[in-house]
Structure 1
Amino acid sequence: MRRTTRSCSSRSRPDRLAALALGAAMLLTLAAGCRADGGGRDNTLRVGVALYTQDDTFISTVAQDLERLAREAEGEDGELKINLSVADGRSNQTTQMDQVDQFLSRGCDVLCVNIVDRTAAAVLIDKAEEAGVPVIFFNRQPVAEDIQRWEQIYYVGARAEEGGTLQGQLVLEAWQADQARWDRNGDGVVQYAMLEGEPGHQDALLRTEYSVKALTDAGLEVEKLASDTANWNRGQAEAKMKQWLEEFGEEIEVVFSNNDDMALGAIDAIREAGLEPPLVVGVDATAPALEAVAAGTLQGTVLNDAQGIAGAMLDLVLALNRGEDPGEAVDLEDGHYVWLPYRQITRETLAEEGQLPLPAN
């Protein structure tokens, strides 16, 4: 099947300028809706993609990968076209619900939803079930009871507790390899600060819990100096880190961050303060974070597989469109879940993959 993508933008990288351009193009896409034009309607698969915000680097990357994978599949079939309509929820559930209503009213065949507020999933699911439109949630996981409301509800993402554990292990390995460097006061205790994603977000809660648990399970003693939410945002994290540096200075030995954008914000604040950097770790493995890992300012990150999420969603969309068993297209757990593995990224793994010179011994 040939698949040609009509998207709401042509993004090259997830930076602020691209996000603004995407938002403007999105308005044009929503105006046209999910329906195809002209006589090709029967051969057009209409997919509504609702993002919680396009300012999130990782989410923007997932959307770009989804569009790219659909375009790359163009030569596989001479009949089917894929029309992707992407909407920016701007971190507002009411806005996103309005966008979903528009997708449904304009005849979308499948919805891919990165929901703003996971507690609002039931309302969205009921709307989609009434319209007979399957929903694929991704990266922001609704509660299990909501996923079970209808057989055509799916979730694609990674297990947040696994990401937290791997992040904690990054700190553990660095601490054990060079404790004299990181244990600044020599007391054998890991003094840390925690940048959390947002209040009540499952990934934020689990990454926070399991990152620290990885240290305590290994027998390390820890002390939390500071912890607060920065809503996955680099600027908010920078502001928060500046406050903590004024209070604690170089007493902070480790900075855990629930995602890379916030980790980079912490590094921005540390660099501006001119202080010796602590051990900073993130999650997502975004392009800017990989640059920071290569440069040595970010100790490591945990790959949240944006391309894998996009690919699994596209496989599900195509299977549903063909009337095939989704379990034949993707590895489904409990009939609803596609779980993708996390993976640690350090300078050493980048070197092994040929993305930078091998570090000196």
Structure 2
Amino acid sequence: MNTLWKRTALLLSAALCLTLFSGGCSDSDDSQNPDLRQIKIGMTVYRQDDTFISTLSGYFLETAKARESRDKVKISVNVMDGKGNQGIQNDQVDKFLSQGYDVICVNEVDRTAASVIIDKAKSANIPIVFFNREPVEEDMQRWDRAYYVGAIASESGVLQGRIVSNLFNQNPELVDRNGDGKIQYVMLEGEPGHQDAAIRTEYSIKTVTGAGISVEKLANDTANWQRAQASAKMGQWLKDEEIGPRIEVVFSNNDDMALGAIDAYRAAGIEDLPVIVGIDATPPAREAIKEGTLTGTVLNDAKGQAEAIFELAYALSTGRDVKEAVPRLEGQYVWLPHRTITIGNVMQEFDD
């Protein structure tokens, strides 16, 4: 287990303490001073067992702890798991509202359900910061104290496509195994209805064909962002004589599903892997790049997003200017850029 993964696990364990102990994040004597201002931040995520989301929430807790120590304030962070159920998540938001939290951060189970959450938050005059799952624009326009932090999905698809097209142009024999001049591929997609899944799927392939490379889709299916589901689906394809032996590239909408594809190859006893690409640059994915099983991924900046979410939440809680706190803020949106991660730069980009 690498250093970042250990730190993230420890921070997520600490979240339980933060939900039960309102004294905040700091271990210093200053945090026990009753005269200090206490800031209460509620966070609800669609699934805590999602690797990217757990990494992001770990960074959020780390940032809150550092700011508490620096500014000598109490910051109580309550992270709750929506467990993939919008009803459960709505109840969690209601709890934060009834208990008078200063700000609520929401990674929606269902991005189309934002209007209900925004209207409730507006009635209570408690600002809300959505992240990772973008509400539809019409819902965001319902209130000017609703914000969104994320990354542009099309950019991640483009960069994923470039990993494959660049490799094809530089070393065609590594990609085009049968030498027919085109790429036979399968696509592992995120959950239906999620904007990132549809956009990443579209733009990854569009980028490859835009580079003048012919493609042939052998199969595609949803695996709901989950490693186990992707492994099961990939295992079925590998058993299909019309699909398995012909796969040259596995496109995956996120890293967990890409790792699931690798798991399926290992379970099938196949050591000679095709090109496999993911998105997110999670710690396990970076390890897979180093060991040579994952060809590449696209950094969906969990640390940068966590810091932006916190800075927005902190500014909103303390009455500070949000634009000054988060210079990237454009109206109600904060967009973080993506970066390509391959064996050529993974060591330089991360000190895992």
Above 0.5 in TM-score?
yes
| Structure 2 gaps, min length 5 | 26-30
1:85 aligns with 2:78: yes
Q: Helix, strand or coil: the match of 2:220? A: strand
1:318 aligns with 2:314: yes
Q: Equivalent residue for 1:249?
A: 244
Q: CA deviation at 1:325?
A: 2.3
Deviations 1:207-243 (A, max 9, x none): 1110101101111111111111111100000000001
- Report matched runs for 1:121-160 at 5 Å: 121-160=114-153
Find the aligned partners of 2:141 and 2:292 in 1 and give their Cα distance: 44
1:115 aligns with 2:108: yes
Q: Helix, strand or coil: the match of 1:348? A: coil
Find the aligned partners of 2:113 and 2:308 in 1 and give their Cα distance: 24
Question: How much identity, in percent, do the aligned residues show?
Answer: 54
Q: CA deviation at 1:254?
A: 0.3
1:163 aligns with 2:175: no
Q: Equivalent residue for 1:337?
A: 333
| Structure 1 gaps, min length 5 | 1-10, 357-361
Q: Which amino acid aligns with 2:120?
A: K
- Report matched runs for 1:247-326 at 5 Å: 247=240, 248-275=243-270, 276-326=272-322
| Contact 2:82–2:89, Cα closer than 8 Å, also in 1 | yes
Deviations 1:2-32 (A, max 9, x none): xxxxxxxxx94567x997x67xx74x76677
Q: Helix, strand or coil: the match of 2:115? A: helix
Q: Which amino acid aligns with 1:192?
A: Y
Q: What's the TM-score, normalizing by structure 2?
A: 0.90
Q: 1:178 aligns with which of 162, 168, 171?
A: 171
Deviations 1:81-131 (A, max 9, x none): 110000000010000000110111111110010010001000000010001
Instruction: State the 4+ residue runs in structure 1 displaced beyond 6 angstroms.
Output: 31-39
1:53 aligns with 2:51: no
Q: 1:223 aligns with which of 200, 209, 216?
A: 216
Q: CA deviation at 1:293?
A: 0.4
C-alpha spacing 1:83/1:266, structure 2 compared with 1 (3 Å): same
C-alpha spacing 1:131/1:40, structure 2 compared with 1 (3 Å): farther
Q: Helix, strand or coil: the match of 2:264? A: helix
| Contact 1:48–1:110, Cα closer than 8 Å, also in 2 | yes
How many residue pairs end up in the alignment? 340
Q: Which amino acid aligns with 1:52?
A: Y
Q: Which amino acid aligns with 1:57?
A: T
- Report matched runs for 1:193-204 at 5 Å: 193-204=186-197
Q: Which amino acid aligns with 2:244?
A: G
Q: Equivalent residue for 2:28?
A: none
Q: CA deviation at 1:316?
A: 0.8
Q: Which amino acid aligns with 2:268?
A: A
1:211 aligns with 2:204: yes
Deviations 1:142-189 (A, max 9, x none): 111111110101000100000010001011111112111221221111
C-alpha spacing 1:41/1:234, structure 2 compared with 1 (3 Å): farther
Find the aligned partners of 2:63 and 2:20 in 1 and give their Cα distance: 24
Q: 2:67 aligns with which of 73, 84, 98?
A: 73
Q: What's the TM-score, normalizing by structure 1?
A: 0.88
Find the aligned partners of 2:24 and 2:88 in 1 and give their Cα distance: 21
Find the aligned partners of 1:348 and 1:187 in 2 and give their Cα distance: 28
Q: Which amino acid aligns with 1:195?
A: L
Q: Helix, strand or coil: the match of 2:165? A: helix
